[in-house]
Amino acid sequence: MEVISSELQAKETLRNNHDIVLVPTMGNLHKGHISLIGEAKRLGKTIVASIFINPLQFGKNEDFDNYPRTLNVDLKKLELAGCDYVFNPSGNILQNIMEHKASDLSNKMCGKTRPGHFDGVVTIVGKLFDIIKPQHAVFGLKDYQQFLIIKKFVTQNHLDIKITGGPIIRERDGLAMSSRNNLLTPEERLIAPIIYKKLLWIKDNIKKLPKESLIKDSFNFFSSKGLMAEYLTICDPETLAEANNYDGSVLIAIAIKLGNVRLIDNILID
């Protein structure tokens, strides 16, 4: 596995590769990230992972400075997973970067409380696409909204890149794997699995109870356990518009604060 640290080096090294699958990450890798490498190997021959903690997608009071940085461990994990190249640029990648605006999908869900977040995401992803020139890119479905926004970004910019979503990987107790789980206290970590359990409860009762009751009960439940739900939505998995009937596919998505840690999760009902 080769580690690439500059834009020029990446372009020179990869210019003769025409079957590249890119897996963008911000590092602090867990089994969820590694599963994306497995998905990438199914799609193409040359696997490139990127590691860059992108300041453009963090708001003023968010956790950029505290985001876990574990580069040496990450590199070992990627090599064991069969990654071919790791692009680990410095902050210089942001110099003269072409800024992009995310689609209207960014106005919903996480975008309501994180203004500019998805603009930062598509800006850095656009830069990575321009440097690496992949034929495929793989993103985790835990951030389902991000997945949709990147798909739309590719379509709107007429990029010949296929975007694939990798399924959510969970801990044994159901908690969706996330780098931010490392920031939970031991007590908070014991509480966190109730998020997924409540999503499963909504799934089981979605055709039995009114949507308003499902959401109100869930908010009250989380509040009683010391969690603050930022949003909980039952929506169309393509447009993120609120769903009023459940005959087709439905996305149940949540963002929640547990202590100082913001966690997201979702369930897709086909």
Q: Which positions are catalytic?
A: 33
Residue indicated by tokens 């308003």: 212
Rounded Cα–Cα distance for residues 118 and 111 (Å):
7
Of the chain, the end-to-end C-alpha distance in Å amounts to: 38
Rounded Cα–Cα distance for residues 77 and 266 (Å):
26
Contact status, residue 141 vs residue 266, Cβ threshold 8 Å: yes
Q: Which residues of 18-27 are buried (b: 16+ CB within 10 A; e: fewer)?
A: eebbbbbbbb
Contact status, residue 231 vs residue 141, Cβ threshold 8 Å: no
Helices (H), 44-109: 71-81
